Amino acid sequence: MKALIVDDEKHVRDAIKLLGQWEAAGIDTLYEAADGYEAVAAITAHQPQIVLSDMRMPGKDGMALLEWISVHAPNSKVLVISGYDDFELVRHAIRYGGTDYLLKPVEADELNSSLFRAVDAWKEADAVRMQSTRQSMVVNQMRPHYHDRLLTELVVGRGSNNSQFQRLRDELNLPKQIDSCSVAVTSLSHLDAQCLAKYRSQPDLLVFSVLNICAEMLSPPAEGVVFRQLDQPDEVVLLYWGQCSSLQTILEKVNDGLEQTIQRRLHFGISSCEFYPTGTSGAYQEASMRLWRRNALQTKQCIHDTLESSIGNKGLRLSTFEEPLRLAAMSGRASSVSNAVAEWIDPITRLDVVTAEQIQQWVDEMEWMIGRWLDDAAGAPPEEEDETIEEQPIPFAELPLDREGLLSLSLLRSLLEQRLLAAGKALTAHHHATPDPMSEIARYMDAHYQEDLSLQQIAARFYLSREYISRKFKQQFGLNWSEYLGKLRINNAKLLLQNPSLRIAKISEMVGYQDEKYFSKVFKKMEGITPGEYRKTLSDGNA
């Protein structure tokens, strides 16, 4: 294995080389880089499995390097070693795949502990990749997913050689001569919570609706292709190689179709016209950035071909107001919480620009802060975020947006107030007793498994953050929250299947699945056979 040490100070690089137990970790080759630019060159040339990087460096700093790695070398595991205990740096590191954040001067034990964890994580992920590669060889039954994967690799910059381009053209039967390409990106997380709730039990139906309408207006593959970006499951991407000026007209027709189908219009970021295929990755990043940096206060258009500047809004980060919000939550008084939230929101009401990216950041900061308060109150050490802990019933975030996909200050205010009041009750409970909230949640699920449950609803009911429940539930029961619910439902379904008078569609509804096909899919995944086959085994056993 190979590792790269990135720091602008040579004595720091030398110290890390001396402290690391490289041979014991299975690392036989070490490279060095003095800044982000040298690191990019080293990663491109040598593809190290482990990267240890500083954050503050001249030229291309650690933040920019992590963003580059997340796109161009996502399999690498990154350890951040920084002299700055700064929330924005930590959040950025976590967001772009950093596995640990160590503070200088780093101790040998701390460094090696993190190093061994990173190596183990890479090995586990590599085993998964190898298994995935073997499975992907059988693509006949997974052709659409396989096509989405090929196109995802293209737009994120991992499918960048001629053989990959040729395979993509052959698989999708693309035109032989494509000179240029424009990209459009939409995110289903920009829909309002009411719309997303309709598809909670069958989220793929929402994705398929958008894909089908886009394909209908696009006439693929002659004019272009549309696919689900598998690295970001809430994204739908459209590649268009017709006249660039026609793309906006096509997207407007797509929105007309969506309004008839799901009663909503989607926001799209669109890129300028670039060379195909070499410029596709850059065009995708441009379109995605224009989507997320759209002005979520404007009311005129859903197609975004420019970037909005929000440089003056950086002081409005929620974390800068953390202590007044925490004290208000601890007071347990709705008026105190309302006043604290209003004081933070008031400057936002005077802004001309608030981007979708900022809204997502505020929601992330809120959950991060509340989760940390709860951990501190319980005496638990801070834990790394684990994106694999909770498989949400629907993978799309619910942001405080209205039906037009625009920021609703009233929804933002209500969201903050509800979460702070709930957090305050949970924090107060820690001072009076040591309750067992995870067992209470499990008992509630046992009694209400047949209802349309979501983690967000459970979090609000028990005054806990979603991340806190995900973490603690897995620790206590050994199962993710969604795995526990699925097992509960399927076990009850097995009991009901013993009654031959009950139709499978009815059983599906009785255990909380509104879609019989989705119920059968979950049942087969857990039991290895379909509900019908399971019922047949029961009748065979009684014969």
Please list the residue range(s) of the chain that carry CATH number 1.10.10.60. Answer: 483-542
pLDDT confidence of 541, banded at 50, 70, 90? low
Segment 520-527 mean pLDDT: 90
Give the CATH number of domain 140-304; options: 3.40.50.2300, 3.50.50.60, 3.30.1360.20, 3.30.70.270.
Answer: 3.30.70.270
| Predicted local confidence at residue 310, as pLDDT | 59
> Who contacts 280 (Cβ-Cβ below 8 Å, separation ≥6)?
154, 155, 181, 183, 239, 274
For 2-134, CATH gives: 3.40.50.2300
pLDDT confidence of 307, banded at 50, 70, 90? confident
Q: Report pTM.
A: 0.56
Question: Which tens digit of pLDDT belongs to each residue from 448-476?
Answer: 888 888 887 888 777 777 778 888 888 88
Question: Which tens digit of pLDDT belongs to each residue from 494-518?
Answer: 989 888 888 999 999 899 888 888 8
pLDDT confidence of 394, banded at 50, 70, 90? very low
Nearest in space to 271 (alpha carbons), one of 300, 256, 251, 257 = 251
Please list the residue range(s) of the chain that carry CATH number 3.30.70.270. Answer: 140-304
Residue 259: other Cβ atoms inside 10 A: 12
| Predicted local confidence at residue 58, as pLDDT | 85
CB 228 within 8 A of CB 236: yes
**Percent of the chain at pLDDT above 70?**
88
Nearest in space to 95 (alpha carbons), one of 393, 360, 390, 482 = 360
Distance CA(26)–CA(20), nearest Å, equals: 11
Question: Which tens digit of pLDDT belongs to each residue from 471-495?
Answer: 888 888 888 888 899 999 999 999 8
| Predicted local confidence at residue 409, as pLDDT | 93
Question: Which tens digit of pLDDT belongs to each residue from 47-64?
Answer: 899 999 888 888 888 888
Instruction: Enter the tokens of residue 231.
Output: 């690295």
pLDDT at 186 over 70: yes
Distance CA(303)–CA(252), nearest Å, equals: 8
Question: Which tens digit of pLDDT belongs to each residue from 395-423?
Answer: 466 789 999 999 999 999 998 999 898 88
Helix (H) or strand (E) holding 535: helix 531-542
Distance CA(45)–CA(177), nearest Å, equals: 31
Distance CA(436)–CA(191), nearest Å, equals: 35
Angle between helices 280-292 and 356-378 (to 10 degrees): 70
pLDDT at 392 over 50: no
Q: Which CATH architecture has domain 483-542?
A: Orthogonal Bundle (1.10)
27 backbone dihedrals φ, ψ, rounded to 5°? -100, 120
> Who contacts 501 (Cβ-Cβ below 8 Å, separation ≥6)?
none
Amino acid at 347: P
Segment 99-110 mean pLDDT: 84
CB 298 within 8 A of CB 404: no
pLDDT confidence of 390, banded at 50, 70, 90? very low
255-259 long-range Cβ contacts below 8 angstroms, 24+ apart: 255/302, 257/213, 257/216, 257/217, 258/209, 258/210, 258/213
| Predicted local confidence at residue 202, as pLDDT | 75
Segment 147-156 mean pLDDT: 89
Segment 286-306 mean pLDDT: 90
Please list the residue range(s) of the chain that carry CATH number 3.40.50.2300. Answer: 2-134
| Predicted local confidence at residue 244, as pLDDT | 83
Segment 206-218 mean pLDDT: 89
| Predicted local confidence at residue 359, as pLDDT | 92
| Predicted local confidence at residue 116, as pLDDT | 93
Instruction: Enter the tokens of residue 468.
Output: 């806190």
